[in-house]
Amino acid sequence: MFLPRFLYFWRVNSLKKMSKSSSTIADAAWQVIEQSATPFGFVATAQDKDNYARLWSRDSAITSLAVLAGERTELYPTVYRSIVNLLDAVGEYGVFPSNVSFSDQFERTGASFGGPVGRTDSPFWWGITALSYLERVEDAELKQRVLDQLVQMEQRAHAWEFNNKHLMYAPVSSNWADEYPVEGYILLNNVLRYWMLRKAGRIFEHKSYTDKANAILWAIKSHFFGEPADTPLLFTKAQQERLDRLTGGDRVLMSFTPGALNNHMDALGLSIAFLVGAASESTMNKVVDRWMKGPLRDAVMPAHWPIIRPGDPLWPSIESNYSFDFKNHPGHFHNGGVWGLTQGFAAAMFKALGREEADLLGRYEELLQSSMEHHPFAEYYSYPEFNAAGVHSLCFSAASYLLATHAESDAFLSIFERVKTMDEGDVQRIASELATEIVALRQTKIYKLAGESGCGKTTLGKALVEALKAKGKKALLLSQDEFFHLPPRQNHNKRVSDFSWIGPQEVDFELLQSCLEQATDPSIEVVKIPVMNWERDEKEWKEVSVKDVDAIVVEGTYVLHQISNDETGIFFEHTYEDTKEARIARNREVVDDFIQRVLAREHELISPQAAQAHFSISKEYKLH
């Protein structure tokens, strides 16, 4: 049932009183969304305040994604109306509306296409939502309209690249943080475009969209995260030199222009980047480590970090950019404010990453409980005071919380284009059982695990160490990846220039054998082994204690290339095709055409090593 706008005030007052009568925060969140459902779509809030009672492309999209993730089918008609009414309001030359206004009789009275500039992110939020809806509801007419609109949207997005190098260039104030000093090549905008095209390519079986999504993905990984990827570079020489000096989370960029690099931390952009597979586990762990030095100590995720204060080079830019009243005081609004929007997405990201020690969802629940009676589902909380601020009863604050609570559901995974993988507990149990069986059947000083990329070598290696420990033996785990002749990026470049380089010759087996001999020599207590620094692309060295070591486990693609009778060889039968989806889900590498050629070549070289193994592990993870 939908009520005229004059009854919204009653709804809001009842919402303010619901903290004790509502059984759960989730119930309260759904109530916010239900009360914001109108005959023309989801408004930003049921409050008749300023322009929040309009149909916003971004707000209605995030709300709709929560509805789809929660499988609240009774609200699907409102999702549909949000999609269609925004589509009907598209302007001349395909300019997408930021928001659409309606009369009390629910007739469209106008459309806004942004303030000083348009909203680059709006069409992508809409596209992601429309495509996610079409995965759940059969509607041939809407499907065709969406496909037609995608063509127009991609034409505009391609024009925003300016140089055909896959990343869009946008002015300041062009995305959700419209009063924050971010411009140029912006992480969030490009991640949203990648997400939409990846979904469109799959749903419509549209190869050009899939290819473009991959090209954008490689550009994102290379530029914003410094991950290896074959893509045209957009940095100036001076910028590249500066980036080469940055390490860890400091190397991750929020945006850049030809004249500036901005490595402030964008919680929404980074969270979505990981959830949709644009950022690797390695990158995101570095980001989390950097966050841990700041706001994560309080288990919160400000929209942007660090806070910009008077005297900061960016202060003049943030101080002068506002529409009505200045809101970006230090620790407020986009400038360090803790938004429900970002806290929810970040909580989902942390869960997917397996880094739940900060308990962002639990902390968000504490904040919601503290303000539920007087300011439910606040726009943001000030930092570090945690006072509820801005507009209350916001749909995207409620929706992001609900998305976090559904982060492991099949519906959530399909929306974010994530592949459902084996539960980590099951993985560890299977590895432990296999390791225990291997150790019981054959006890040697050296165990070598071989197989193709993503098959589980490292996981089983760790389990073998634990199984040996359970028998009172001290074991050391070594990785073949540390024994390559060249550091990672140099080795990749070598492969590109000389494809025949791929194979066992990439590995310094002489050095590996020397380390194994030293580690098993009772008279030697310390061995120096190589360690690859992935950030600096350098080979470093560290000393490892081998005193009283009883066994060594070595894992790697080619370790069975050399094996003696007094060693135990274990081979995984999984091929790179079997592990492709899992590798994508775990974000371990860019899966481009060249990498696929590399994996195919490795398959040819690795498969014959099965004959050298004492044990094989089947695709069903059975030992034989």
Whole-number pLDDT of residue 14 = 40
Both 42 and 78 in one domain: the answer is yes
Does 17 have pLDDT greater than 70? Answer: no
Instruction: State pLDDT tens for residues 356-366.
Output: 788 899 999 99
> CB–CB of 449/480 below 8 Å?
no
Both 404 and 526 in one domain: the answer is no
> CB–CB of 409/72 below 8 Å?
no
pLDDT exceeding 70 applies to what percent of the chain?
Answer: 92
Whole-number pLDDT of residue 383 = 95
Band of pLDDT at residue 483, cut at 50, 70 and 90: very high
Q: Provide CB contacts within 8 A for 284, sequence distance 6+.
A: 270, 274, 349, 353, 587
The rounded distance, in Å, linking the Cα atoms of 375 and 387 is: 10
Residue that finishes a domain, picked among 384, 415, 446: 415
Both 114 and 207 in one domain: the answer is yes
Both 362 and 236 in one domain: the answer is yes
Band of pLDDT at residue 592, cut at 50, 70 and 90: low
Tokens representing 11 are 């709804």
Both 305 and 439 in one domain: the answer is no
Domain CATH number, residue 479: 3.40.50.300
464 inside domain:
yes
Tokens representing 382 are 């000030």
16 inside domain:
no
Whole-number pLDDT of residue 115 = 83
234 inside domain:
yes
Give the helix/strand (H/E) hosting 532.
strand 526-533
20 inside domain:
no
Band of pLDDT at residue 141, cut at 50, 70 and 90: very high
- Mean pLDDT value across residues 450-468: 89
Band of pLDDT at residue 354, cut at 50, 70 and 90: confident
> CB–CB of 113/98 below 8 Å?
yes
Tokens representing 111 are 């459309």
* Mean pLDDT taken over the chain: 90
Both 139 and 65 in one domain: the answer is yes
The rounded distance, in Å, linking the Cα atoms of 575 and 597 is: 13
Both 444 and 588 in one domain: the answer is yes
> CB–CB of 348/407 below 8 Å?
yes
Residue that finishes a domain, picked among 370, 393, 415: 415
Burial of 86 (0-12, 13-18, 19+ CB in 10 A): buried
Residue that finishes a domain, picked among 392, 415, 438: 415
> Would you say the pTM of this structure is higher than 0.85?
no
223 inside domain:
yes
Domain CATH number, residue 266: 1.50.10.10
Both 183 and 225 in one domain: the answer is yes
Whole-number pLDDT of residue 590 = 52
* Sequence letter at residue 245: R
488 inside domain:
yes
Band of pLDDT at residue 428, cut at 50, 70 and 90: confident
Instruction: State pLDDT tens for residues 115-134.
Output: 888 899 999 999 999 999 99
- Most confident by average pLDDT, 3-17, 35-49, 241-255, 288-302: 241-255
Which residue range is the domain that position 66 belongs to?
5-10+25-415
Both 502 and 365 in one domain: the answer is no
Whole-number pLDDT of residue 269 = 97
The rounded distance, in Å, linking the Cα atoms of 418 and 405 is: 16
15 inside domain:
no
Both 138 and 230 in one domain: the answer is yes
18 inside domain:
no
Does 18 have pLDDT greater than 90? Answer: no
- How many domains does one find in the chain? 2
Both 173 and 307 in one domain: the answer is yes
Instruction: State pLDDT tens for residues 159-188.
Output: 999 999 999 999 999 988 999 999 999 999
Instruction: State pLDDT tens for residues 45-90.
Output: 987 666 788 999 999 999 999 999 999 999 999 999 999 999 999 9
Both 187 and 204 in one domain: the answer is yes
